[in-house]
Structure 1
Amino acid sequence: MGEDGPVTAAAQERPAPRLIATDLDGTLLRDDKSVSERTVAALAAAEAAGIEVFFVTGRPARWMDVVSEHVHGHGLAICANGAAVVDLHGGRRFVEVRALARPAALQVVEALRTVAPHSSFAVETTTGINYEPAYPPFYMDPGATVATAEKLLREQTDEDSAPVLKLLAHHPELSPDDFLELARSAAGEFATITRSSPTALLEISGPGVSKASTLAHCCAERGISPEEVVAFGDMPNDVEMLTWAGTSYAMGNAHPAVLAAASGRTVANNEDGVAVVIEQILAARTA
């Protein structure tokens, strides 16, 4: 145990890391949504040492300004829980999109209206977000269309409209984990359902779309194996990624499912847990 608190890792005898994959909210970012100077320095040092850094987040591309200035070299991020790969340079250009088909999204809406009355929905596309009148005011967009999810999803077809990155579902009474379990049971055959919010807000992507599956694809393109990846996360939408990576760390503030999935544990986001591990990785290289 050092001055930063306990950092543990079960993974041993791994190849030298070639890529660091980190979640943002609750992981790389502090609770005030800032990136500390220590973390900025650690990211820059990793890339200077030849280790790629991928931001892998549930955030849409339009919310990536918080880290854009800290990206060096490639400038790629996996957004919307794997639904998009985005170039953070040059206006957040979409490099790849793994859309949720509108018919499948409608099936999820129908299923959740049946098993979880009072659910409200928002539709995140490559051009912005639209939502129902009852959807809570998390981040209201003055340019959004406000209508029922059925209308939002049927207004246009997949062929002539902006791709749907994810469907969001909120429930005012259920606990977050209960809502997730209920939704997966009722609609898991139509989509990938996860959550990263402390509220009962679900994030719904196309079948097979997750942070892990898109990260695996990006790594395969670069000839990087899972054993050469170090991943960090704190919420259920990180579980698949942490399981896939050869070495993974749950933050000290992580959800119990994340603590169970990761091979190691670092200190909390407000204590710069990602930076602590990166510094250890780089120190080991020069030891």
Structure 2
Amino acid sequence: MTSPHGPAPAPDDSPLPARPRLIATDLDGTLLHDDKYVSDRTIAALAAAEQAGIEVFFVTGRPARWMDVVSEHVHGHGMAICANGAAVVDLHAGGKLLQVRPLERDTALAVVQALRDAAPGTTFAVELTTGIHYEPAYPPFHQDPGATIAAAEKLLQVQVQVQGQIQGQAQDQDQEAEDDSAAPVVKLLAHHPDLTPDGFLTVARTAVGDRATITRSSPSALLEVSGPGVSKASTLALCCAQRGISSDEVVAFGDMPNDLEMLTWAGTSYAMANAHPDVLAAASGRTVTNNEDGVAIVIEQLVARRRADGH
């Protein structure tokens, strides 16, 4: 592929796979620029990959409701893996949930108690399929003004008593509260105001053990908790198996610890130059930063090779 930006520099340290069938890319810090937009060069590269017969999966920690930044740039299949593997969504259908791998509420409650004991001062948010809710001291989500503010233990109760509920209240309001209280938990978020990000991750993994999957993608001490065995990698593997695609046919991109399993599972992987040190060490190759269109550069190389081979 000839880029309008000139010849694409070769990716660093990694041979290009012979016949990739799927590209799996993280979003924040990877595909998106720091301003949270997709560049024109990247838009063109994504379209070229699809035209060349290479599927593109967005694989992100973002919830489905925050996928509008890339939804119009999905071609063909229209699917994305969200919430670190807890949800598979159809972006062509407005973010319709196709599969949910939830964090059971009793497990989430156990994690909350373990982290309160191991790291006093931890505050929590609960990401449901219906939206996010959080504790009073948790950093607020300005994108979600309708969130419920309450202790995590209350937010995770299966049955919620609606304050001020009176006999004869509209039944549809009753049903709405019940639906929200029973909605699957896709992710528990834990924030600490003083610990270092990696230090908090170590403390949390030690305290929780194998009861849940804990990772992080934020530059702050913000952890993301999923059900046991749920990760970007495990859900991507399930989606690929449904398509008859092996890990050797996957090229993956990422920048933070929540990408590690995906990068080591994929046959070929690229860490962004701006990536976390553990990601740089784990990936089979390296490309330039997200703000320099590192993903697009590699895709251009892949498409060019595919065309040169007559595919």
Using structure 1 for the length normalisation, give the TM-score: 0.95
- Inter-CA distance 173–5: structure 2 relative to 1 (3 Å threshold): farther
Among candidates 114, 121, 125, match of residue 118 of structure 1: 121
Match of 1:235 in 2: 256
Q: Does 1:271 align with 2:275?
A: no
Match of 1:128 in 2: 131
* Counterpart Cα distance in 2 of 1:241 and 1:19: 13
Contact 1:249 1:263 (8 Å CA) reproduced: yes
SS in 2 for 1:66: coil
Contact 2:263 2:269 (8 Å CA) reproduced: yes
SS in 1 for 2:99: strand
Among candidates 8, 14, 28, match of residue 12 of structure 2: 8
**What amino acid is the match of 1:8?**
D
Match of 1:216 in 2: 237
**What amino acid is the match of 2:304?**
A
* Counterpart Cα distance in 2 of 1:139 and 1:28: 23
**What amino acid is the match of 1:270?**
N
SS in 2 for 1:134: coil
Worse-matched range after superposition: 234-243 or 156-165: 156-165
Match of 2:97 in 1: 94
* Counterpart Cα distance in 2 of 1:40 and 1:10: 23
Match of 2:47 in 1: 44
* Deviation by residue 1:146-195 (Cα, 9 ceiling, x = unmatched): 11001111243999710000000000000100001110010132100000
Contact 2:8 2:300 (8 Å CA) reproduced: no
Tell me the CA shift for residue 7 of structure 1.
2.2
Gaps (5+ residues) in structure 1? none
* Counterpart Cα distance in 1 of 2:222 and 2:148: 20
Among candidates 240, 259, 280, match of residue 301 of structure 2: 280
Q: Does 1:203 align with 2:207?
A: no
* Counterpart Cα distance in 2 of 1:36 and 1:166: 29
* Counterpart Cα distance in 2 of 1:224 and 1:9: 24
Contact 2:10 2:301 (8 Å CA) reproduced: no
Q: Does 1:245 align with 2:266?
A: yes
Match of 2:63 in 1: 60
Q: Report which of the two structures shows the higher radius of gyration computed on alpha carbons.
A: 2
Q: Does 1:258 align with 2:258?
A: no
* Deviation by residue 1:93-136 (Cα, 9 ceiling, x = unmatched): 00000000001101110010001011000000000001000001
* Counterpart Cα distance in 2 of 1:65 and 1:54: 15
**What amino acid is the match of 1:230?**
V
* Counterpart Cα distance in 2 of 1:45 and 1:206: 35
Contact 1:61 1:79 (8 Å CA) reproduced: yes
Among candidates 32, 50, 57, match of residue 35 of structure 2: 32
Match of 1:188 in 2: 209
Aligned CA RMSD, in angstroms, stands at 1.8
Contact 1:231 1:241 (8 Å CA) reproduced: yes
Contact 1:251 1:269 (8 Å CA) reproduced: yes
Contact 1:121 1:167 (8 Å CA) reproduced: yes
Gaps (5+ residues) in structure 2? 1-5, 161-177
Match of 1:76 in 2: 79
Q: How many residues align?
A: 285
Residue identity (%): 74
Using structure 2 for the length normalisation, give the TM-score: 0.88
**What amino acid is the match of 1:265?**
R
Contact 1:5 1:267 (8 Å CA) reproduced: no
- Inter-CA distance 102–274: structure 2 relative to 1 (3 Å threshold): same
* Counterpart Cα distance in 1 of 2:8 and 2:202: 35
Q: Does 1:143 align with 2:164?
A: no
